[in-house]
Structure 1
Amino acid sequence: MQNAVSVPSRRLSIWLSFFGFMLVGISSGVSGPILPSLGAYYHVGDATIGLLLLVSPFAYFLSSLSSGLLIEKFGLRWLLLLGTVIFALGFAGFGLRLPFLWLFGARLCIGLGSGIIETGFNIYISTQPRQETLLNNLHAFFGVGSLLGPLLVSALLTLLWGWNITYLFLVVLCLPLALGLGPLFSVPANIQDTQRDEPARKEGIFGATLKLPVVWIATLFLLVYVGVETCAGSWGYTFLLNERAQSPLIAGWIVSGYWLGLTLGRFFLQRQAERMGISSTVLVYICLICIVLSALLAWLVPSGISAALAFCLMGLGVAPLYPLTVAIMPKLVPSHLAASAISLLISISIIGLGVFPWLAGLLAQAVGIWTLMPFIILLTLAMIILWRVLARHIASPA
């Protein structure tokens, strides 16, 4: 039971989770700025380098999808430790500057490791008291890592230490995470009980999870959310250059404001909502409306100042949606299916990283980049409909 874990041990485990998410964020943040150095060292073009970027999402999908089953077999602590070791091996491949073809294996390890770490810590934090606030903080630390990653790369390159030193530094950062998962990490009793009880069940966990309609509704919601977040972050720069005639420097700062708004929103919005007595269900509605209004502002008001305000507000709007969706899953499904439901939720949502930005790019090429904001509005309206269905299940869980 939850109170069987001492408060200091639980706090250390939570902070270890935050550190793990920040490490995954740093990994994500360094990948873009380091690509030019990678291409120059191996004498390959952007198209070839781009193939490397396709490997990690595929590996992330596989590891996230299977995490629920692996937790059942090996336990949460050992799965997270395995993910951390695989993660570090991927960094080591780049740090040691292995032959280029070997880097595909290294990227595979990075994707597998990050998928296990993110899914595992999401499952862990979802079992804690006040999980809505903690999950927002957890994902905020990913944002902190994403902001620190480019700074780390630029600092090391400025010192002329070589691009591979960044990855060796990440290997070193994996060590305290791996060591901490031994003596410091406390697995809640409800997860341990699930691991002991489930082998005796007649029906497979994954099969039972797939039969729950509420899981698929939440998965669709998160899938579309990932599309909204990624479209705004990836195509926003082009929108600002071509539609709002901003300089590259200003456009870059405005997009950074979007990511900063997302990070700060995850730290503060849920906490402020609790103080004001606003439920998580209502907070999601407020955030979805905020996304629609900010997209309308960026679309209809041809001003650089309004665009900057719109992107900051959009970042705040999208901030709590992912962690709150993860947080509600244990309330919507039987306890023994919670880990499997979360792993399914996270794994399928990664598809949104590729599908929706691709569709946005097709629209931009065929009609114009101005279609970005109407496209985001359309996706957000779909999210409002899906959340309305989820809200009914939250009000009257099965």
Structure 2
Amino acid sequence: MQEERPRGSLLDEPRAGPRIDPVDFAEGTDRGVSSRERDRLQIWKLVALNFATFLAGLNDAATGALIPYIRSSYDVGLLFVALVYLLNFGGWMVAAFTNVYITARAGVGGVLCVGAAATLLAYCLDVWRPPFPLFAASYFFSGLGIAYMDAQANSHVAGLDNAHRWLGVLHCVYGVGALVSPLAATALATKTPYWHYYYLVLLGAAVANLALLTWSFRQTLFSADAGTSRGSPGRRLQDALSQKTVWVLSLFFFLYVGAEVTAGGWVVEFLISVRKGSPSRVGYVASGFWGGLALGRLVLADITHRLGDKRMISIYIVVGLGMQLLFWFVPNVVANAVAVSLLGFIIAPFFPVGISVLTRLLPADLHVASVGFSSTIGQAGSAAFPFLTGAIASKAGVMVLQPVMVSLLGGMLLLWCLVPKIRKPTD
């Protein structure tokens, strides 16, 4: 094991092999500035990346709470609503295979600003309740934009010292955004006929997000990635995709994020259609799930890290299966609300822990390409599985949510068993 060296800053990066500064490796160079100034820039970047992740939470959790109102307003069935998720999935997949190329030419700051601009365009379309085809198409742009921002945020934070804690904070902030989103969307949709005005909230957040990212990454905005000296973008992506670990964890993330957003996105429709709950009340159950997710990412980060990532994630999946079965077989709205909140809490660490594990299993020069690809493919599950659930539900009913969730959790357990043994970290 590598002996821990003294740290000059909380944001330094002690890694096996040649030390690569996160700033130099990911986004060009900040040479010529003092150590204090560089630390200040890093803090601003962390603030900006966390706000971008908060916006992603506001975005992802809103659709599920608004499904009943989208259906009635546009007079469409579940299959058409599911198309929204399909177009969103298209945006994520485009980002997965273009992220490394755009990063090489525009740098991290440039990609983040492109992503922020794409989400801003999406909310400009949504806010005036356009015809349904245009409304659905806007989800391609929101998926594309959030995918670019998500890939860069995870890549940047995974390169920091104590990455498991910083990643836990980053994804906790996502959970906070996802907690607030159904509360605001449900309150607006139940008290006014203007459910689409929720997108004004997203529009305002998107403007602030673009401004904050532009300011925080201003010194390297649209500058070529210094990582190009380590090989062409295509070569780096090819090297990353040649690693079995990248594919195993990409599929794990794909199922996990699919389960996360499927549960949060369809639970309201399930409780209304199957449990006969009141829309004005069960709309808030989704916030219980996302609140559990945010809390779990904060509370369980260090516990999981110290007791062993491989062992603890396996235990969490088994417990999560128990919570999902309780939700399935106990036909009580209150019990279901508690079960789905506990499910959110127990599965919360999966994504940040997986990113941390990926960086410990791969050499440092593959981190940007592998983390960017894996996190983007994983987040594509946030659109793919809600779409599949909606498509099946349009024929078989919303009760298919439960077998879909159990299958996703079971698949995650199998994939996690295929992850190579992880070295115990040195604190």
Task: Give TM-score scaled by structure 2 length.
Answer: 0.75
How much does 1:77 deviate? 0.9
> Structure 1 residues 78 and 266, CA, compared in 2 at 3 Å: closer, same or farther?
same
> Structure 1 residues 365 and 11, CA, compared in 2 at 3 Å: closer, same or farther?
same
> Structure 1 residues 94 and 154, CA, compared in 2 at 3 Å: closer, same or farther?
same
Partner residue in 1 for 2:252: 221
CA distance in 2, matches of 1:356, 1:152: 21
Partner residue in 2 for 1:313: 342
Q: What is the RMSD of the two structures over their aligned residues, measured on CA atoms?
A: 4.0
CA distance in 2, matches of 1:310, 1:214: 32
CA distance in 1, matches of 2:198, 2:213: 23
How much does 1:19 deviate? 0.7
Q: Are 2:59 and 1:57 aligned?
A: no
Q: Relative to structure 2, which stretch is displaced further, 136-145 or 27-36?
A: 27-36
Matched-pair contact (CA < 8 Å) for 1:126–1:330: yes
Partner residue in 2 for 1:147: 179
How much does 1:66 deviate? 1.8
- The letter of the residue matching 1:345 is S
Partner residue in 1 for 2:311: 282
Task: Give TM-score scaled by structure 1 length.
Answer: 0.80
**SS of equivalent residue, structure 1 residue 390:** coil
- The letter of the residue matching 2:126 is F
> Structure 1 residues 269 and 181, CA, compared in 2 at 3 Å: closer, same or farther?
same
CA distance in 2, matches of 1:266, 1:360: 28
Q: Are 2:357 and 1:358 aligned?
A: no
How much does 1:269 deviate? 1.3
Q: Relative to structure 2, which stretch is displaced further, 318-327 or 192-201?
A: 192-201
- The letter of the residue matching 2:177 is G
Partner residue in 2 for 1:322: 351
Structure 1 segment 208-357 matched on structure 2, within 5 A: 208-237=239-268, 252-273=283-304, 277-299=306-328, 306-349=335-378, 350-351=380-381, 353-355=383-385
Equivalent pairs counted in the alignment come to 389
> Structure 1 residues 283 and 180, CA, compared in 2 at 3 Å: closer, same or farther?
same
- The letter of the residue matching 1:327 is S
Equivalent pairs: percent with the same residue? Answer: 23
Structure 1 segment 70-81 matched on structure 2, within 5 A: 70-81=102-113
CA distance in 1, matches of 2:174, 2:403: 28
Partner residue in 2 for 1:205: 236
> Structure 1 residues 157 and 14, CA, compared in 2 at 3 Å: closer, same or farther?
same
Matched-pair contact (CA < 8 Å) for 2:66–2:189: no
> Structure 1 residues 70 and 333, CA, compared in 2 at 3 Å: closer, same or farther?
farther
How much does 1:168 deviate? 4.2
> Structure 1 residues 347 and 162, CA, compared in 2 at 3 Å: closer, same or farther?
same
How much does 1:320 deviate? 0.8
Runs of 5+ in structure 2 lacking a partner?
1-20, 24-34
Matched-pair contact (CA < 8 Å) for 2:59–2:178: yes
CA distance in 1, matches of 2:200, 2:397: 44
> Structure 1 residues 324 and 367, CA, compared in 2 at 3 Å: closer, same or farther?
same
Partner residue in 2 for 1:24: 56
Q: Relative to structure 2, which stretch is displaced further, 225-234 or 327-336?
A: 225-234
Matched-pair contact (CA < 8 Å) for 1:246–1:304: yes
Matched-pair contact (CA < 8 Å) for 1:66–1:343: no
**SS of equivalent residue, structure 1 residue 392:** coil
CA distance in 2, matches of 1:238, 1:36: 7
**SS of equivalent residue, structure 1 residue 323:** helix
> Structure 1 residues 139 and 9, CA, compared in 2 at 3 Å: closer, same or farther?
same
- The letter of the residue matching 1:26 is L
How much does 1:57 deviate? 2.0
Q: Which has the higher helix share?
A: 1
**SS of equivalent residue, structure 1 residue 204:** helix
CA distance in 2, matches of 1:239, 1:108: 25
Per-residue CA deviation, residues 340-373 of structure 1 (Å, 9 max, x unaligned), is 212321333324643477369759977994x765
CA distance in 1, matches of 2:125, 2:277: 39
CA distance in 2, matches of 1:6, 1:176: 23
> Structure 1 residues 8 and 114, CA, compared in 2 at 3 Å: closer, same or farther?
same
Per-residue CA deviation, residues 159-189 of structure 1 (Å, 9 max, x unaligned), is 969556543443332333223323424899x
Matched-pair contact (CA < 8 Å) for 1:205–1:340: yes
**SS of equivalent residue, structure 1 residue 175:** helix
